[in-house]
Amino acid sequence: MTTETVAREAGRDFIRDIVQADLDSGQHKTIVTRFPPEPNGYLHIGHAKSIALNFGIAEEFSGRCHLRFDDTNPTREEQEYIDSIQADVRWLGFDWGNNLFFASDYFERLYEWAEGLILNGLAYVDDQSQDEIRASRGTLTEPGQNSPFRDRSVEENLDLFRRMKAGEFPNGARVLRAKIDMSAGNINLRDPVLYRILHAHHPRTGDTWSIYPSYDYAHGQSDAIEGITHSICTLEFEDHRPLYDWFLDKLPVPSHPHQYEFARLNLTYTLLSKRVLTRLVQDGHVSGWDDPRMPTIAGLKRRGVPPAAIREFVRRIGVAKANSVVDVGMLEFCIREELNRTAPRRMAVLRPLKVVIENYPERQSEEIEAINHPDDPAAGTRKIAFGRELFVEQDDFMENPPKKFFRLSPGSEVRLRYAYFIKCREAVKNAAGEVVELRCTYDPATRGGNAPDGRKVKATLHWLPAAQSKVAEIRVYNQLFASPSPDAGNFAADLNPQSLEVLKDARVEPSLAESNFDTAVQFERQGYFVRDPDSTADGLVFNRTIGLRDSFAKEVAKG
């Protein structure tokens, strides 16, 4: 990003204030942050908030931000996720330079430090089952109980831990726990698990390890190894901070980072839990992680949302210490703002109705000039063929219109955008009584869309030539969930049955098939659309990014 963009996006918040103070006091010379995804799913818009915060701070304060994969649980992690996360962070406009790291790079060191804790009497091997450990942990009001294995000798602990590492025991047979305090008020300090036995293939370390560190044990130490100054995470880790600090105090780490917590992003009509997103994909409720209805970065991208709109959205919502729910309308507003400014204009007819201009000569056609962006003359113009047979939108015709309907009806006159005035003479119906064609006349004197005699029309319609336009499938998306606060526990019940409407016979300008439109365009009067990768040479597919106006909010308001 340019320095200008960086400056514009540099809002202030409590974390940036802390960073500034730490620079001013000389506590740190260089700020180092990190974004630490677990590669067990695709990134979503909530992660974008964290990415923009961590990379944004590094950029604004001339520091650096590491991309570190928190790959400590091989049963849920996959290379596909590692690859998609990198692609998505880049697409959002952020750059980790050479600072790509994996917690698994530190497995050897973390292991040695764990042996060190054992030697210092600060960790022990527990033979209790997971259930037994959970049952003896106590509650918020009751202290936990010491494990019967808590007072094993250093020698026995070391021997058992080494045999755990050597793969001698089955999954779940034993764990390594920190020896802290089973009556601590903070449950995270009641002898937390550091290592569990897991005979699983790891995407990076293969079959080297049969024990894997817990999140709590790996995270802070990875921060310390990398010299992270400000370890920024979401509020649910606030209660883990004493444990984060305990490890750093007890281990011979090269630095002592500080953890700061901010409120995670929640959005109306949206679930951002990876567990739910994984289920949506696995149970076939969506076509994949990049289904345009998904709140994933890949989904938003495929839907045609520009990365600048996402950056602007997270800038506007800011960074706070209290959890809240942001109206999804705010995200939509940012998408419309960005696309209105940048998207080229084109014409498309979503539900075509044939128009025959009776007084236009057969086998003749002419080129009409259309402008590409009303606010940007540099975007230039393009030519659209006009002839005797055209398409207009079915909604733009009514046989018996109410008073305020100014579009096409028998006897009415309208403007076809950039072209001519046309007047409707007659609607032709099929055997079922449906209107299948309009017979119209045009006024050759109104070329360009104005009448020399000064007469006015009250409607301007978009249109396309019948012969020269291309058939396209258009996928119109609505909210994936019908409820403003979907239930994560029973999300299937809250799915919106109308989240996808497919229009098979839409028409688009031929230029949309030829040029490389992987960014959204505005279909005049309809909204923003982007070509979908499902498109083939003879089968164009477009996704609706978003409508022009916020019709959804209005519907909701009307109830």
Known catalytic residue at 514: no
DSSP category for residue 210: S
| Contact call for residue 192 and ligand ATP (CB under 6 A) | no
| CB 143 within 8 Å of CB 203 | no
Is beta strand 470-477 parallel, antiparallel or unpaired with respect to 32-35?
Answer: unpaired
Of positions 130, 208, 273, 381, contacts ligand ATP by CB under 6 A: 273
| Contact call for residue 38 and ligand ATP (CB under 6 A) | yes
CA 27 to CA 61: how far, in whole Å? 14
Of positions 19, 33, 50, 291, contacts ligand ATP by CB under 6 A: 50
Alpha-carbon dihedral sign for residues 287, 293, 299, 305 = positive
Q: How far is the CB of 43 from ligand ATP (least distance, A)?
A: 8
| Contact call for residue 294 and ligand ATP (CB under 6 A) | no
Which range, of 242-250, 268-276, 420-428, 544-552, touches ligand ATP by CB under 6 A?
Answer: 268-276
CA atoms within 13 A on the CB side of 436: 6
Q: How far is the CB of 421 from ligand ATP (least distance, A)?
A: 53
CA 482 to CA 436: how far, in whole Å? 34
Q: How far is the CB of 470 from ligand ATP (least distance, A)?
A: 40
- Report which residue type is found at 324: S
Of positions 16, 49, 240, 302, contacts ligand ATP by CB under 6 A: 49
Of positions 204, 250, 264, 425, contacts ligand ATP by CB under 6 A: 264
Known catalytic residue at 264: yes
- Active-site option among 274, 346, 475, 531: 274
**Contacts of 325 by beta carbon, 8 Å cutoff, 6+ apart:** 266, 267, 268, 485
Phi, psi of 118 (to 5 degrees): -60, -45
| Contact call for residue 13 and ligand ATP (CB under 6 A) | no
| Contact call for residue 415 and ligand ATP (CB under 6 A) | no
Strand partners, 506: 472
At 503, list the tokens. Answer: 């229009």
Q: Which of 17, 30, 197, 204 is nearest to 125 (CA)?
A: 197
Of positions 272, 353, 495, 520, contacts ligand ATP by CB under 6 A: 272
User: Tokens 């990875």 identify what position?
Assistant: 222
Measured from the CB atom, is 225 or 422 closer to ligand ATP?
225
- Active-site option among 9, 38, 389, 437: 38
Q: How far is the CB of 254 from ligand ATP (least distance, A)?
A: 22
- Active-site option among 264, 279, 351, 382: 264
Q: How far is the CB of 187 from ligand ATP (least distance, A)?
A: 18
* One-character DSSP codes across 259-279: EEEEPPP-BTT----HHHHHH
Q: How far is the CB of 273 from ligand ATP (least distance, A)?
A: 5
Q: How far is the CB of 203 from ligand ATP (least distance, A)?
A: 15
Which range, of 14-22, 41-49, 129-137, 184-192, touches ligand ATP by CB under 6 A?
Answer: 41-49
| Contact call for residue 183 and ligand ATP (CB under 6 A) | no
| CB 473 within 8 Å of CB 531 | no
Q: How far is the CB of 433 from ligand ATP (least distance, A)?
A: 52
CA 20 to CA 349: how far, in whole Å? 53
| Contact call for residue 75 and ligand ATP (CB under 6 A) | no
Which range, of 180-188, 190-198, 271-279, 539-547, touches ligand ATP by CB under 6 A?
Answer: 271-279
| CB 94 within 8 Å of CB 60 | no
Residue 452 burial by Cβ neighbours in a 10 Å radius (0-12, 13-18, 19+)? exposed
Measured from the CB atom, is 92 or 125 closer to ligand ATP?
92
Of positions 57, 114, 197, 265, contacts ligand ATP by CB under 6 A: 265
Q: How far is the CB of 37 from ligand ATP (least distance, A)?
A: 4
Strand partners, 233: 261
User: Tokens 């790959």 identify what position?
Assistant: 71
By beta-carbon distance, which residue lies closest to ligand ATP? 46
Angle between helices 307-317 and 45-60 (to 10 degrees): 80
Q: Where are the alpha helices (DSSP H) in 253-354?
A: 274-282, 297-303, 307-317, 328-342
| Contact call for residue 36 and ligand ATP (CB under 6 A) | yes
Which range, of 109-117, 264-272, 322-330, 416-424, touches ligand ATP by CB under 6 A?
Answer: 264-272
Which range, of 46-54, 99-107, 417-425, 488-496, touches ligand ATP by CB under 6 A?
Answer: 46-54
Known catalytic residue at 38: yes
Give the end-to-end CA distance of the chain in Å, rounded to a whole number.
Answer: 43
Number of neighbours of residue 215 by Cβ within 10 angstroms: 16
Report, in angstroms and rounded to the nearest whole number, the Rg of the chain calculated over CA atoms. Answer: 31
* C-alpha angle 380-310-222 in degrees, rounded to nearest 5: 135
Measured from the CB atom, is 296 or 409 closer to ligand ATP?
296
CA 510 to CA 529: how far, in whole Å? 15
Which range, of 5-13, 36-44, 366-374, 527-535, touches ligand ATP by CB under 6 A?
Answer: 36-44
Of positions 86, 234, 450, 468, contacts ligand ATP by CB under 6 A: 234
CA 286 to CA 279: how far, in whole Å? 10
Size of the site for ligand ATP (CB under 6 A): 14
Active-site positions?
A: 38, 264, 274
Which residues in this chain contact ligand ATP in the complex, by CB under 6 A?
36-38, 46-47, 49-50, 233-234, 264-265, 272-274
